[in-house]
């Protein structure tokens, strides 16, 4: 609902976007991300909501508070690139994504190519206390930074949650259209009210959102939304043929989160033996972050819009050695982890690199070999030496034995020659059908 003076309108005029989700920012959201989330759910248009907070309130941080009627509501997805955690609700019929990034919102602002909807409930974030005793955070002082990235036709929403007597000045602004910085003007369009229907708000018993809504005119050129969206969603960083391979599958659950099967088993154990087993103390898990038909639909949309994708190019040579396909990729393995995940590859690299890879993509952990366990007696390759003339003899064969799938990924090792590989693979008849070796040195395997 929108109040414009004394007139009531059914809808708050929020923008739409063609061929991409709306980009929504809620800086310093903490738990109140549920407010901006609800506003977007009611809007019913595809969206990504990015919340930059110095200390985000992740939905899987406190299960009980972030669930709905005892059911998990946000399923965690692969992390965005760089910083943050991502979540999605599979039951909404339109594209949705919640991203929490633990950083200063002023810094985070640099990453946005444009913002369609800026949702603010704490304007101080954009201000610096200047030491004056009677310093007051004012709307007009915060506005230039607040709407710096809001695109022409976008909207600024100021949630009144934290507006009380001491904060009246938050909402002191001129009437009509007014300039806040070169090329950017705002116009107050009215007071928005939303009833909370989808996800209950936490704390304070609030079941309504009251906000001031401003239309933004901005003559500064926006950035490219597809570049930004590709940093948030792994699927947008893959090539159409990789996406084809995902069809008919569902994204796996976040490693470490209990599955629906885990939950059910524990619940039935509790019913059978209530004294021995407690009821699960977390909400009933979602099966996946997507519904299968919707995921396929989205994949097909991406495949049909290759201009929206930002696949990582691979500089590779492919050759056959015995019954094994060898793929030599010039570049760092860290740039190709999403692709390795699509291949269900087994990571067989030393500890430090393994850690770096899993920090970027935890899903690879399932098939990663542990070459250097803490207990020396558990080491699978005795006195391993990775490279050079003194490297462990037959190291390629030793590594192949440790692969946990039929695609093994590693980096240059031994003396990194084709002859050495040929010798290892010519009569190899193990499980690995494809060996992917990343090399940084242009001269390796020539």
Ligand X SMILES: C[S@@+](CC[C@H](N)C(=O)[O-])C[C@H]1O[C@@H](n2cnc3c(N)ncnc32)[C@H](O)[C@@H]1O
Binding residues (CB under 6 A) for ligand X: these are 27-32, 52-55, 104-106, 121-122, 125, 161-162
Quote the CA–CA distance of 161 and 168 in Å, as a whole number. Answer: 12
Cβ of residue 121: shortest distance to ligand X, in angstroms?
A: 4
Nearer to ligand X, 55 or 389 (CB): 55
Quote the CA–CA distance of 118 and 211 in Å, as a whole number. Answer: 12
Cβ of residue 51: shortest distance to ligand X, in angstroms?
A: 9
Cβ of residue 110: shortest distance to ligand X, in angstroms?
A: 13
Nearer to ligand X, 27 or 90 (CB): 27
Rounded to the nearest 5 percent, the helix, strand and coil shares of the chain are 30, 25, 45
Quote the CA–CA distance of 323 and 113 in Å, as a whole number. Answer: 47
Do 235 and 312 touch, CB atoms closer than 8 A? no
Quote the CA–CA distance of 280 and 262 in Å, as a whole number. Answer: 10
Start-to-end Cα distance in the chain: 67
**Edge-first strand listing for the sheet containing 315-321:** 315-321, 324-330, 434-439, 407-411, 346-347
Structure tokens at 306: 């290759």
Nearer to ligand X, 192 or 251 (CB): 192
- Helix ranges restricted to H, 285-362: 292-304, 337-342, 351-360
Cβ of residue 139: shortest distance to ligand X, in angstroms?
A: 16
Do 43 and 209 touch, CB atoms closer than 8 A? no
Nearer to ligand X, 57 or 400 (CB): 57
Nearer to ligand X, 97 or 158 (CB): 158
CA 163 to chain centre: 31
Nearer to ligand X, 27 or 192 (CB): 27
Cβ of residue 56: shortest distance to ligand X, in angstroms?
A: 8
Cβ of residue 221: shortest distance to ligand X, in angstroms?
A: 26
* Residue nearest ligand X (C-beta atom): 28
Nearer to ligand X, 142 or 230 (CB): 142
Cβ of residue 71: shortest distance to ligand X, in angstroms?
A: 24
């Amino acid at each position: 609902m929108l109040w414009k003076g004394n007139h009531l309108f059914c809808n708050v005029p929020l923008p739409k976007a063609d061929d991409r989700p709306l980009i929504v920012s809620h800086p310093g959201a903490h738990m109140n991300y549920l407010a901006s989330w609800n506003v977007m759910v009611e809007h019913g248009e595809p969206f990504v909501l990015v919340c930059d907070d110095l200390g985000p309130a992740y939905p899987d941080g406190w299960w009980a508070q972030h669930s709905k009627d005892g059911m998990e509501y946000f399923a965690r997805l692969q992390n965005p690139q760089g910083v943050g955690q991502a979540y999605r609700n599979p039951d909404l019929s339109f594209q949705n994504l919640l991203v929490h990034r633990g950083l200063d919102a002023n810094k985070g602002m640099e990453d946005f190519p444009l913002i369609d909807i800026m949702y603010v409930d704490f304007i101080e974030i954009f201000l610096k206390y200047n030491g004056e005793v009677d310093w007051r955070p004012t709307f007009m002082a915060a506005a230039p930074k607040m709407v710096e990235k809001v695109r022409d036709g976008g909207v600024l929403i100021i949630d009144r949650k934290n507006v009380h007597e001491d904060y009246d000045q938050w909402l002191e602004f001129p009437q009509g259209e007014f300039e806040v910085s070169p090329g950017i003007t705002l116009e107050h369009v009215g007071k928005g009210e939303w009833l909370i229907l989808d996800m209950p708000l936490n704390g304070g018993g609030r079941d309504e959102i009251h906000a001031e809504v401003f239309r933004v005119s901005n003559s500064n050129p926006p950035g490219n939304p597809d570049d930004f969206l590709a940093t948030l969603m792994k699927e947008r960083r893959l090539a159409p043929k990789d996406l084809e391979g995902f069809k008919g599958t569902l994204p796996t659950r976040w490693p470490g989160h209990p599955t629906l099967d885990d939950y059910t088993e524990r619940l039935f154990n509790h019913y059978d033996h209530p004294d021995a087993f407690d009821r699960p103390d977390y909400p009933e898990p979602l099966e996946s972050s997507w519904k299968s038909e919707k995921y396929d639909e989205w994949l097909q949309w991406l495949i049909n819009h290759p201009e929206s994708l930002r696949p990582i190019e691979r500089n590779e040579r492919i050759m056959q050695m015995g019954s094994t396909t060898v793929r030599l990729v010039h570049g760092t393995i860290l740039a190709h982890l999403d692709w390795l995940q699509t291949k269900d590859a087994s990571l067989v690299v030393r500890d430090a690199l393994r850690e770096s890879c899993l920090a970027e993509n935890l899903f690879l952990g399932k098939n990663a070999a542990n070459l250097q366990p803490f207990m020396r007696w558990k080491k699978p390759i005795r006195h391993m030496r990775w490279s050079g003339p003194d490297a462990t003899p037959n190291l390629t064969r030793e590594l192949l034995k440790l692969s946990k799938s039929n695609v093994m990924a590693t980096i240059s090792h031994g003396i990194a020659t084709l002859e050495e590989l040929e010798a290892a693979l010519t009569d190899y008849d193990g499980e690995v059908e494809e060996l992917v070796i990343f090399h940084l040195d242009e001269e390796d395997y020539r």
